Structure 1
Amino acid sequence: MAANIDGTLIWAGAYTADSDGKGMGIGAIAVGDDGDLSWLGTAVEAPSPSFLAVHPALPVVYAVAEAAQTVRAYRRTGPFGLEALGDAWPAAAAACHVAVDPAGRFIVVTCWGDGNVLLFGLDDDGGITSRFAAAPAKDPHSSADGGIDIATGASRVSRAHASLMLDDGRIMTTDLGFDVVRVWNYFPDSGLLLDHEVALPLGSGPRHLVQHPSAAVFVVTEYSIEIAVLLPGADGRFVLSGRGPATAGGAADGDAAAEVALSQDGRFVYAGIRGSNRISVLAVEGSGTRLRPVADVPSGGDWPRHHLVRDGWLHVAHERSHDVATFALDPATGVPGEVFQKLGVGSPTALVVAP
């Protein structure tokens, strides 16, 4: 089972038995310079570590435990192993995403189940030391007709889903239940304090997001299958500059957008579409302020929950077909070619590069 780690090491989040998944914990995958993937083994057993983030300077990875409603730090041991760094900390219902401050001061955890946005302070070793809950979201569409959650058919509820560390030091979070993006400032003694918010169209469902070097933020919407472009004004407040389809061929019944990623040169955006199981490629135009759909490519498996773009390769984690599919990217067009390789991985949900 062991393989040489001559290239890149990727840690893979997964669903485990407590979420009806087939993973065992955080997996370890070696990526050769030729794009070839090798399964190294389980780095550490953990309950449904569905999303991961790595410390910017230390060999530490953070994982949410979605069913257990906790977050935990793990420290690297040996070539690819991990061990717990301190105890698991309580998060909230369906903790589904974690992101790390570029200065290594804190992590932010967002919770789909109840809308909680939580900040956890870190010590110099990367361990978790404190917990702060941010203010709950308010529905900007509360006076609109309907008020029904698209995913459940019930009354609309807050569903925080992801966070992004902005280039200017602020933090941006999405709430796909209330169709709102919030921008925060960090204070060491109190956590996150709201700076401002941006309402997206009713029923769009902002899910994941990425920032372009131009400062524009691209937000993929799970329900409407679009990408919203947020631009900062002279006063620093973001506004909705535009939105358009996340796919070249349109959405299909049952589709749900998942991850959004940027090519390393900033020329292309990649959106994962579950249901019809596609990766959609969009060209970045207008000095980083507009997107144009270019192509839709089969993702190579079932339910592409997350993907990673790195060194000319695209790696796609398929939650339901239990594999990671790898594609070579055309350097001119950004479009993936045929599936280069598929590696069996139990219920993968997230892929991050180990430091």
Structure 2
Amino acid sequence: MRKKQLVFIGGLNREAPYFQGARGVGLSVFSFDDQSLETTLLAEYGGIDNPSYLSVNDDGSRIYANSEIFGWPEGLVTALAFDRATNTLSHINMHATLGSITAHNMITRDGSKLLVSNYAMGDGGPDRSLVVFGLSDDGGLTNVLSAIAHVGTGPDPERQERSHAHSLTELKTGSIAVACDLGLDMLIAYRLNPDGSLSRLDELKMAPGSGPRHLALHPDGKLIFVINELNSTICSLRIDGETGAMSLLDIQSAADASQPDVENHCADLQISPDGRFLYGSNRGHDTVVVFSVDAENGKLALVGHAPCGGATPRNLGLSPDGAFLFSANQNADRVTIFRRNEENGELTDTGKAIETGTPMCVKFARTPLA
């Protein structure tokens, strides 16, 4: 049955010394026809700086965009509304994030809160790693409900000179969220309390110099997967949905072995809706790595590497039905559209793409347009 999906893309529009240019508009909304594979631009919003990460609610009517601004002591998170009837984006409100280089956000499963992570560079400002906002009935951000600061270092003096929280992900069961701290080589499980406060439950030290970045959740709620930026690995772990206790099950290299002399840093991780396959992005090798998942023991098996169709695949987006994977290729100004084989997990480049400036993040609304 033919469907049109809503696709949201954040594009870099303000220079930063660690990025190769900023050629984006800001926030863009496209429709994607899953039969013709054609995409149509529906709306653009330039009144937001560097929307490097997005969260979108199920019907795409509310978008939460981080602003990652180099040199600012605090980043921003902006709440926006999208009207399907008129294809218009409008500003609701925005808040400072109590920390710099705001890296990630996630809408909680009950839709009542927004979990925000600050990577943080330098000193000064409030310097909070994790921040919880409430969400009002109109989708706007309330004042901060709670904030946590991580402290420590890792073995890499350039990338782990301090804490660098890169994501905070709520589990399928709710009430527990796991933070990936790249600077500390650590996963930290928190109880997310009804009032928005965070209570530390458990922590797991990862391999020295690994740099955990993003998390993916198995649909059974018992397994989580972590992509490590600095040593280009993917780990599977078992987690107790009640206590947050974590244990490592498997670790595999995500790197493309055919490019041993090319520097690589992993970025994003996605899991197929059935939980059978993982997809990780390799920046440097410019590939998407595919692993199969054994749900019984958490073991990962390499399926292969697909060229990303551009350069620097910073973020990946799976269509809600799992039939397509989009790769936001930051330094190619291109979002590549892959068809996904649901039986063996392999990716096929469709030859179709969204040409857009410096794409940093790509998200689907779960509810189709038609």
Normalising by structure 2, what TM-score? 0.86
Distance 1:224 1:242, change over 3 A: same
Asked whether the equivalents of residues 201 and 244 of structure 2 are also in contact (C-alpha less than 8 Å), the reply is no
Check if 1:244 corresponds to 2:252.
yes
- State the Cα deviation string for residues 136-183 of structure 1 (Å, max 9, x = none): 2244xx6xxx833353xxx62100001211012111111001100111
Indicate the residue corresponding to 2:171 in structure 1: 166
- The one-letter amino acid of 1:24's match is V
Q: 1:314 aligns with which of 294, 310, 325?
A: 325
Asked whether the equivalents of residues 159 and 176 of structure 1 are also in contact (C-alpha less than 8 Å), the reply is yes
Indicate the residue corresponding to 2:99 in structure 1: 92
Equivalent runs, 1:252-291 vs 2, <5 Å: 252=260, 253-287=262-296, 289-291=298-300
Check if 1:50 corresponds to 2:52.
yes
Distance 1:228 1:120, change over 3 A: same
Q: Secondary structure at 2:190's aligned position in 1? A: strand
Distance 1:189 1:165, change over 3 A: closer
Check if 1:351 corresponds to 2:362.
yes
Deviation at 1:251, TM superposition (A): 6.6
- CA distance in 2 between counterparts of 1:79 and 1:6 reads 19
Asked whether the equivalents of residues 122 and 130 of structure 1 are also in contact (C-alpha less than 8 Å), the reply is no
Indicate the residue corresponding to 2:150 in structure 1: 137
- The one-letter amino acid of 1:315's match is F
- CA distance in 2 between counterparts of 1:288 and 1:344 reads 40
Asked whether the equivalents of residues 149 and 177 of structure 1 are also in contact (C-alpha less than 8 Å), the reply is no
Deviation at 1:112, TM superposition (A): 1.1
Deviation at 1:267, TM superposition (A): 1.2
Q: 1:341 aligns with which of 348, 352, 355?
A: 352
Asked whether the equivalents of residues 225 and 251 of structure 1 are also in contact (C-alpha less than 8 Å), the reply is no
Distance 1:124 1:23, change over 3 A: same
Indicate the residue corresponding to 2:231 in structure 1: 224
Q: 1:61 aligns with which of 60, 63, 68?
A: 63
- CA distance in 1 between counterparts of 2:147 and 2:95 reads 20
> After the TM superposition, which segments of 4 or more aligned residues of structure 1 sit over 6 Å from their partners?
none
Check if 1:7 corresponds to 2:9.
no
- The one-letter amino acid of 1:181's match is L
Equivalent runs, 1:168-187 vs 2, <5 Å: 168-169=173-174, 170-187=176-193
Q: 1:76 aligns with which of 63, 74, 82?
A: 82
- CA distance in 2 between counterparts of 1:36 and 1:342 reads 9
Deviation at 1:249, TM superposition (A): 3.0
- CA distance in 2 between counterparts of 1:241 and 1:250 reads 26
Equivalent runs, 1:323-338 vs 2, <5 Å: 323-338=334-349
- State the Cα deviation string for residues 112-152 of structure 1 (Å, max 9, x = none): 1256111111122221112144332244xx6xxx833353x
- CA distance in 1 between counterparts of 2:259 and 2:44 reads 36
Q: Which segment is superposed worse, 253-262 or 68-77?
A: 68-77
Indicate the residue corresponding to 1:105 in structure 2: 112
- CA distance in 1 between counterparts of 2:58 and 2:264 reads 34
Indicate the residue corresponding to 1:123 in structure 2: 136
Q: Secondary structure at 1:320's aligned position in 2? A: helix
- State the Cα deviation string for residues 68-125 of structure 1 (Å, max 9, x = none): 6111110113443211112433442100111010101110111112561111111222
Deviation at 1:334, TM superposition (A): 1.2
Q: Which runs of 5+ in 2 are unaligned?
A: 122-127
Deviation at 1:18, TM superposition (A): 4.3
For the aligned residue pairs, the C-alpha RMSD in angstroms reads: 2.3
Distance 1:201 1:127, change over 3 A: same
- The one-letter amino acid of 1:162's match is S
Q: Which runs of 5+ in 1 are unaligned?
A: none
User: Percent identity, aligned pairs only?
Assistant: 25
